[in-house]
Amino acid sequence: MTQETGGFAAFNLNPNILAAVIATGYEEPSAIQHQSIPIIMAGHDMIGQAQTGTGKTAAFALPILHRIDPAKREPQALILAPTRELALQVATAFETYAKQMPGVTVVAVYGGAPMGPQLKAIRNGAQIVVATPGRLCDHLRRDEKVLSTVNHLVLDEADEMLKLGFMDDLEVIFKALPPTRQTVLFSATLPQSIRAIAERHLRDPQHVKIQTKTQTVTAIEQAHLLVHADQKTSAVLSLLEVEDFDALIMFVRTKQATLDLASALEAKGYKAAALNGDIAQNQRERVIESLKDGRLDIVVATDVAARGLDVPRITHVFNVDMPYDPESYVHRIGRTGRAGREGRALLLVTPRERRMLQVIERVTGQKVAEVRLPDAQAVLDARIKKLTNSLSPLVADAESTHGDLLDRLTADIGCTPRALAAALLRKATNAQALTLAAIEKERPLVPNNAPRGDRPERTGDRPDRGDRERRAPVPLAEGRARCRTALGARDGIAAKNLLGAILNEGGLAREAIGRIQVRDSFSLVELPEDGLERLLTKLKDTRVAGKQLKLRRYRED
């Protein structure tokens, strides 16, 4: 057994699954994984009593993937989850663990999304189906044989499904499944209603019960910020402006993300480097030494690459991407607040990740306070403070060493000492914005306007859709053209999403973009008339909230 595979090698999992486990950064199986994986791999029915956050998704996902036949293009495993959010989370976990298994596909089936593509994915042979009971019953009404090939069933958070009133739907689903299937049931509690389901539908189930341990990280100040996924880099740059850090480690999920974010930080003048699994050991050691001695201040890393990293200088941890489980979160933020020093951990949370935030709070027994993006005044104050701190040590003997030079330069140039000092400040600050108006212009994010959910909030009276769609566009300013995209409020789009995407991909200054109007089924954006076609070509492949922007000139009749 190699050190990298840790205890997971003892399960004799498919090598491709084991490789994916290593890539996620798991080192040792959790208690629920240690007990459940052998039972499920052996084909037994099982009842697992465990809270969310104990690692139970991997406890059933890994052994089920081990038993999947990629050559068979048909549904083989069904995982039922009580909510859309949990279904998406479980589906993502399966995709992560199956990343190196060619031919294995996963489909998430839930309400609020078109049924056609879901049913097509199932009929095209997705081996793993993760579904909410209500939507799955909708599919069964269209095709009662859709589950006839399933031989592994998992009920995740069964007690929550019953609380949400899915009992009748579950009975319909049980009848549609082959009676010879393997059934695994996970539930935080085991009330009589859950026991009754187990008695009727499980065969000689084995029982596993895990007590959740509270993991404390009391020495570390924790906070979270709600952002959309495409705003993360901008949010990081804004937070760095006001955070008083010595050294900092940022965690992301992918190797490419380490390179992209480190590059964005370097472009802003930070001493930053990437650390991922592709970096050779000698280079990794150089990066860590540079972080220790101050030649680097920020390292952007994946969980695997950061394993064993212990640098006393680290005062902050930024979780740019949400960790896969609470244990990973605790492990990450434990890299600060060492040896009695204070530490600070910041977590970026997208709307769909708020459930995991709640799990982290429960497992750690601590509330992770919400913070907002710093406003322009906070950024200005922070910049001036840094400038003051850098200049203060130089002032003491500057007049004795450079006073004569100052006199000569003011005489030669024909200016006042104040004018010369202002010119030198401009040069020293590299034209950095140091007024409120200038900072407002350069900020791609609207401060203190965090996303509150998957759909935009609407307040006040709601006119009917026809009235909203027929509102007359605002008159255009001279030199601007109005462009249209088919993305609107119903796609979860806000004006700041469009603004951020166009600024990032189009290379425009903030003031070049005019009014942005977001309607229910489309949006209008005012762009410079000069060079418009070239800009639209540049934005051709831009995506917002996972969908193509497809901006076109809007011609009003």
Q: What is the pLDDT of residue 5?
A: 42
Q: Does the pLDDT value for residue 441 go beyond 70?
A: no
pLDDT tier for residue 394 given thresholds of 50, 70 and 90: confident
Name residue 209's beta-bridge partners. Answer: 49
Q: Does pLDDT of 518 surpass 60?
A: yes
Determine what percent of the chain is predicted with pLDDT higher than 90.
29
Say whether pLDDT at 128 is over 60: yes
pLDDT exceeds cutoff 80 at 320 = yes
- Does pLDDT of 459 surpass 70? no
Q: What spatial distance separates the first Cα and last Cα of the chain, rounded to whole Å?
A: 71
Q: How far apart are CA 269 and CA 450, in angstroms?
A: 27
- Which residue would you say has higher pLDDT here, 180 or 441? 180
In the chain, what are the domains?
6-209 (3.40.50.300), 220-371 (3.40.50.300), 377-442 (no CATH), 465-553 (3.30.70.330)
Banded pLDDT at 348 (limits 50, 70, 90): very high
Whether the pLDDT of residue 449 is over 60: the answer is no
Q: What is the pLDDT of residue 503?
A: 80
pLDDT for the residue numbered 443:
57
Confidence category of residue 448, pLDDT binned at 50, 70, 90:
very low
Query: How would residue 469 be classed by pLDDT, with cut points 50, 70 and 90?
Result: very low
pLDDT of residue 534: 86
What per-residue confidence (pLDDT) applies to 132? 92
DSSP 320: S
More reliable by pLDDT, 52 or 408: 408
Cα–Cα distance for residue pair 100/126, rounded to 1 Å? 16
Angle at 30 between CA 221 and CA 10, to 5 degrees: 140
pLDDT for 472 beyond 50? no
Q: What percent of the chain has pLDDT over 70?
A: 88
Structure tokens at 302: 């994946």
What is d(CA 142, CA 119) in angstroms, rounded to the nearest whole number? 9
Q: 155-159, 396-400, 445-449: which has the highest mean pLDDT? A: 155-159
Under the banding of pLDDT at 50, 70 and 90, the label for residue 431 is low
Taking alpha carbons only, the member of 175, 195, 203, 177 closest to residue 43 is 203
pLDDT at residue 462, rounded to an integer = 33
What is the model's pLDDT at position 500? 81
pLDDT of residue 85: 78
Mean pLDDT of all residues in 186-204? 89
Cα atoms in the Cβ-side hemisphere of radius 13 Å centred on 53: 22
Please report, for the chain, how many H helices and E strands are present, in that order: 21, 20
Query: Tell me, what's the pLDDT at 468?
Result: 36
> Are 302 and 250 spatial neighbours (Cβ–Cβ below 8 Å)?
no
Is it the case that residue 486 has pLDDT exceeding 50? yes
User: How much is the pLDDT for 123?
Assistant: 87
Q: Which of 87, 85, 131, 106 has the alpha carbon at shortest distance from 454?
A: 85
For the residues of 128-187, what is the DSSP string, one character each? EEEE-HHHHHHHHHH-TTTTTT--EEEETTHHHHHHTT-HHHHHHHHHHS-TT-EEEEEE
Task: Output the CA–CA distances (angstroms, integers) from residue 206 to 35, 38, 42, 47, 51, in the order listed.
Answer: 10, 11, 11, 6, 18
pTM equals: 0.52
Lowest mean pLDDT among 87-91, 395-399, 498-502: 395-399
What is the Cα–Cα distance from 190 to 61, expressed in whole angstroms?
A: 22
pLDDT at 387: 75
Number of residues in the chain: 557
Q: According to the model, what pLDDT value does residue 450 have?
A: 44
119 pLDDT higher than 50: yes
Distance CA 261, CA 301 (A): 10
- The larger pLDDT score, comparing residue 459 to residue 117, is at 117
pLDDT score of 14:
92
Using pLDDT thresholds of 50, 70 and 90, give the confidence band for residue 461: very low
Q: Are 13 and 62 in contact (CB under 8 A)?
A: yes
- 113 pLDDT tier (thresholds 50, 70, 90): confident
- Between 161 and 40, whose confidence is greater? 40
Q: Strands across the sheet with 343-349, in order?
A: 272-275, 298-301, 247-251, 314-319, 343-349, 220-226, 369-370
| Highest-scoring range by mean pLDDT, 146-150, 240-244, 305-309 | 146-150
Tell which wins on pLDDT, 212 or 34: 34
Tokens coding 487: 């993305």
pLDDT of residue 340: 60
Alpha-carbon distance of 300 to 278, in angstroms, equals 13
Inform me whether the pLDDT recorded for 94 exceeds 70: yes
In the chain, what are the helix, strand and coil shares in percent, each to the nearest 5? 45, 15, 40
Contact predicate 135/110, CB 8 Å: yes
pLDDT exceeds cutoff 80 at 310: no
